[in-house]
Amino acid sequence: MLRKLLVILGIVVAAAHACTAVAQTQFDITGEIDPGTCQWTVGDDNRTVVFDPIDASVLNAQGSGNFQTFSLTLQNCAPGMTSATFVFGGTPDTNDPLRFLNAGSAQGTAVELESADGLNIGANGTNDSRTIPVVDNGAVIALRAGYWRVGPVAAGSVQSVATVSVTYQ
């Protein structure tokens, strides 16, 4: 009886297997491995640098003045990141293309942007990048900006825009 039962079970299993339909397909799997990035520290992603007022006669005599120091900070950098390269740009002044154009009402004035070492960061692309090491998953670039005489200075407002992009290594 046991032998008969095993034979019947074998036939049932074989019949069930023979009736199973097989469908086959393929699908694509894609992705991208990014090198990783950092995040701007709160407030550094849309920063405003405010200069102290300066007398037009002082700027005419000295040529530059009232530099404000500030920094841009990256945080939460991806593991393994070793450096961040900051590339600056903007609209160059027509009389002095290394300086950033003043879109305000003051005449004869542009904006000077420098790294902490006192070297000019040119609005026209000259000497416009700085590479900073990533330490403890962050990078800080120290900068300074101030008024710059590009002609006879007349009182008014000073307003300029500098942009920065960052590439990571």
- Return the CATH fold of 39-168: Immunoglobulin-like (2.60.40)
- Predicted confidence (pLDDT) per residue in 58-73, tens digit: 999 999 999 999 999 9
In the structure, what pLDDT confidence band is assigned to residue 45 with cuts at 50, 70 and 90? confident
Residue 19 confidence (pLDDT): 58
Under 8 Å between Cβ of 87 and 165: yes
pLDDT above 50 (res 7): no
> Can you say how many angstroms the Cα of residue 83 is from the centroid of all Cα atoms in its chain?
12
Burial track 12-33 (b if 16+ CB lie within 10 A, e otherwise)? eeeeeeeeeeeeeeeeeeeeee
Under 8 Å between Cβ of 97 and 124: yes
- % residues pLDDT > 70 (the chain): 88
Taking the model in full, what pTM does it have?
A: 0.79
| Strand order, beta sheet including 162-168 | 129-133, 83-90, 162-168
Q: Residue 73 CB: number of other CB atoms within 10 A?
A: 16
Residues in the chain: 169
Separation of alpha carbons 109 and 99, rounded Å = 9
- Predicted confidence (pLDDT) per residue in 96-126, tens digit: 999 999 999 999 999 999 999 999 999 999 9
